[in-house]
Structure 1
Amino acid sequence: MKYVDEFRDADIAKRIASEIARLSGGQALKLMEVCGGHTHTIYKHGIEDVLPRNIDLVHGPGCPVCVLPMGRIDDAIAIARMDDIIFTTFGDMMRVPGSHGSLLDVKAEGADVRFVYSPLDAFKLARQHPERQVVFFAIGFETTAPSTAVTLLRARAEGIKNFSVFCNHVTIVPAIKAILDSPDLRLDGFVGPGHVSMVIGMRPYHFIAHGHHKPVVISGFEPLDIIQAVYMIVKQLSEGRSEVENQYKRVVRPEGNVKALEAMARTMELRPFFEWRGLGFITHSALKLRPEFADWDAELRFEVPGLRVADPKACQCGEVLKGVIKPWECKVFGTSCTPETPIGTCMVSPEGACAAYFNYGRFSMAAERTQLNVLPLTP
């Protein structure tokens, strides 16, 4: 297929869904889409209503903003409040609540907080303002880590010392392992993340298929991509197989992006442990700067609180991130917690499951969905 509308053909979707129903034989199957981008496609295009009702899609910890614990937000705010700091971040981090407000609140108080589209934008600011320290709030899975790595290499090559990185990059595989080890969730297969896999390739997921005997299908982000990925998972299950397959062959290579992985290896290394919202501390699940890049490490350059902060008791982001509940099952969803007044990160981020459901499906509760037939795929 060459054009976007071909990936949204409702007739093809119906035919694939019928084949999924035939292969599954009515057996209840619970599949996790790991990536927040997949979650938004599922809600936006009504894929849950296209698939047979025995197929249950649950949402995993694939939103990098959502999994960041509140203590790290507080650390970022502490840096942003320091004198002569230009604190830069992606736009979706501006409204993420810490224990005492957000970066947007700090900006309103007078701190110089700016949103950027890439770490290279922050690096450009450091060139333009040599008299000030410019800090980049680096977040994301392996998808965004290479751009941070390339920027660090450039900063060292040019000798720019007023630029530093507050590194919060996380890795996807330990999070999936934590999900698989969770006693309160049974899964039959995984819709693997597309953008992360573009960087890391297919090999890191083999432990899921071979060790845990769960099918994994790496998927693209259009509606037919996801429906085909579900079909491929169900086909594996019907044939008694558990393998790692690649539906997103037009983008993902089996070996990943070797150049990106090399840049990450030159600039970053694994942390001994890191706290994830909803999942607790997971060993070797996040990245920090290597010792040779200490001059560009904001955690070493500035004093940060480094405290663990509990989430608000009313927020159930942790359960949503683990796939234990759906967003609308949270007791504050759509009432006290909305995109305008978020309590948890899942309602803030464009990739958060709560934001996706609020924007595209908050008027369609479970009882209503069981009465629906196939919905159109085009928005």
Structure 2
Amino acid sequence: MKFASEFRDPTLAKSLIAAISAQADRLGARRERPVHIMEICGGHTHAIFRYGLDKLVHEGIEFIHGPGCPVCVLPMSRVDECIAIAERPEVIFTTFGDAMRVPGTRGSLLQAKARGADIRMVYSPLDALELARRNPGREVVFFGLGFETTTPSTALSIQQAAREDLRNFSVFCNHITVPEPIRALLGDPDMMLDGFIGPGHVSMVIGTHPYDFIPRDYGKPIVVAGFEPTDLLQSVLMVLTQIAEGRAEVENQYARVVPEHGNPASLAAIADVYERRPSFEWRGLGEIDASGLRIRETYAAFDAERRFGVGYGAGRAPQPEPEGCACGAVMTGRIKPTACPQFGRGCTPEMPLGALMVSSEGACAAYWQYGGARGLAAE
């Protein structure tokens, strides 16, 4: 398969693994612990386990799984607000499929649908726009969720609704941004991170310069990476090389897709439609300043928060996790999923207790699917 097989070449992978081992051996002679490299994106977490890279790389390297899944970091209170909107009889509530099973304090959207709420899975906000055109007597709400990757498509849909004056369409905006939680993690004195593998899809939109603060302020290297096995192996080698040479820079391994300054059309749509929230609650991380987006006053007619009186109070206390759930500790890299007391017991893909087991990019789902963790959980 052209343009994929090239990045799965076993000969190239073996040479990269050998180079990583040699570099790790050199570093190991002057280190007391493994090199901790955090992959920020949940897609990278799944790729690492899908291809067994965690087992192939040198034992002196440890992957730390970051909060790189927007579904995983969605606070339970926002799920509750989704359900409150969806249960209104005039509403058709639309959402991406991976958000359907995320638990809130009142259950999930899927459970609300089973109770009678009109909740529909869509593949794009354009599907929600079409539902609004076909159902002029109903209020169609799209659950705007995701990092910078999905933010432009929601913005463009709001712009299209404004052009059509489609007043029965609105967006419940929960879009969040990647750089701010990285800063929060780096500000935690208990986090022992040596470098980062940066998100490829997010960077395709925002470019590489939003990460400049990582080497400048914290002296840590970051390499924006693709999602194939040789992409990730090369990125690990690039991080190790920076550490060995005493450098800390932003490097772009995924230059075939990620432009230095991002996508101008996407960035223009984002700037037109959204503004920063003072802060936003992240599941497992609490409130993070300026990490969330809200719809500007110009497009207030399409803001579900204003339309349905759903408020978001900055500085409010985060909802506690369910008893025994360690999603927060897993998302911040403090523990591995298998160290959670509920993993594979009270929390499984069939009956998830935490969001990390639900999402297709969640660390717990990766361990369950690829990590041989079912046997571990049963022990």
Partner of 1:314: 324
Q: Is the 8 A contact 2:79 2:104 kept in 1?
A: yes
Partner of residue 148, structure 2: 142
State the partner residue of 2:340. Answer: 330
Structure 1 residue 6: deviation in Å? 2.3
CA–CA separation in structure 1 for the residues paired with 2:129 and 2:338: 40
Task: Note the 1:208-357 alignment, pairs <5 A.
Answer: 208-304=214-310, 308-357=318-367
Query: Is the CA contact 1:189–1:216 (under 8 Å) kept in the aligned structure 2?
Result: yes
Contact 1:191 1:230 in 2 (8 A): yes
Amino acid in the other structure paired with 2:354: G
SS of corresponding position for 1:217: strand
In the alignment, the residues of structure 2 paired with residue 331 and residue 343 of structure 1 have an alpha-carbon distance, to the nearest angstrom, of 11
What secondary structure does 1:274 align onto? strand
2: CA distance between counterparts of 1:107 and 1:362? 33
SS in 2 for 1:64: coil
Q: Secondary structure at the match of 1:66?
A: coil
Higher relative contact order (CA 8 A, sep 6+): 1
Q: Percent identity?
A: 55
Q: Which of 59, 63, 68 is residue 69 of structure 2 equivalent to? A: 63
State the one-letter code of the partner of 1:7: F
Q: Does 1:159 align with 2:169?
A: no
- The 2-side partners of 1:95 and 1:364 are apart by 21
Provide TM-score, normalisation by structure 1. Answer: 0.94
Matching residue's letter, 1:310: P
Q: Does structure 1 conserve the Cα–Cα contact (< 8 Å) formed by 2:140 and 2:168?
A: yes
Q: Assess if the C-alpha contact under 8 Å between 1:33 and 1:57 holds in 2.
A: yes
Structure 1 Cα separation of the partners of residues 37 and 319 of structure 2: 31
Is the contact made by 1:33 and 1:60 (CA closer than 8 Å) also made in structure 2? yes
Report the Cα offset of residue 247 of structure 1.
0.4
Q: Is this contact kept in 2: 1:13–1:50, CA < 8 A?
A: no
User: Match of 1:22?
Assistant: 22
Query: Secondary structure in 1 aligned to 2:37?
Result: strand
**In the alignment, structure 1 residue 104 sits paired with structure 2 residue 110:** yes
**Structure 2 unpaired stretches of 5+:** none
Distance 1:363 1:321, change over 3 A: closer
CA contact (8 A) 1:201 1:256 kept: yes
Q: Report the AA paired with residue 319 of structure 1.
A: A
Aligned to 2:57: 51
- In 2, the alpha carbon distance for the partners of 1:240 and 1:365 equals 41
Deviation of the 1:9 alpha carbon:
2.2
Counterpart amino acid of residue 114 in structure 1: R
**In structure 1, distance between residues paired with 2:354 and 2:284:** 11
The alpha-carbon distance between structure 1 residues 165 and 272, as it changes in their structure 2 partners (threshold 3 A), is same
SS class of match (1:13): helix
2:304–2:310 CA contact under 8 A, matched in 1? no
Letter of the structure 2 residue corresponding to residue 354 of structure 1: C
Equivalent position amino acid for 2:352 in 1: P
Q: Is the 8 A contact 1:41 1:223 kept in 2?
A: yes
Across the aligned residues of Structure 1 and Structure 2, the Cα RMSD in angstroms comes to: 1.5
Deviations, residues 88-121 of structure 1 (Å, cap 9, x unaligned): 0000011111102111111111110001001111
Instruction: Look up the equivalent residue of 2:3 and give its one-letter code.
Output: Y
1:176 aligned to 2:182? yes
CA distance change for structure 1 residues 185 and 238 in 2, over 3 Å: closer, same or farther?
same
Residues 96-135 of structure 1 mapped to structure 2, 5 A cutoff: 96-135=102-141
Quote how far apart the aligned CAs of 1:2 are: 4.5
Please give the secondary structure, in 2, of the residue aligned with 1:131.
coil
User: Shift of residue 23 of structure 1?
Assistant: 1.6
When normalised by structure 2's length, the TM-score is: 0.94
What is the CA–CA distance in structure 2 between the aligned matches of 1:319 and 1:175, rounded to whole Å? 14
Q: Which secondary structure state, in structure 1, belongs to the residue aligned with residue 174 of structure 2?
A: strand
Q: SS state of the match for residue 71, structure 2?
A: helix
Deviations 1:248-280 (A, max 9, x none): 011000010011000000000000011001111
**Contact 2:72–2:283 (CA under 8 A) maintained in structure 1:** yes
Tell me the SS of whatever aligns to 1:165. Answer: strand
* Residues 341/305 of structure 1: CA separation in 2 closer, same or farther (3 Å cut): farther
Distance in 2 (alpha carbons) for counterparts of 1:337 and 1:14: 36
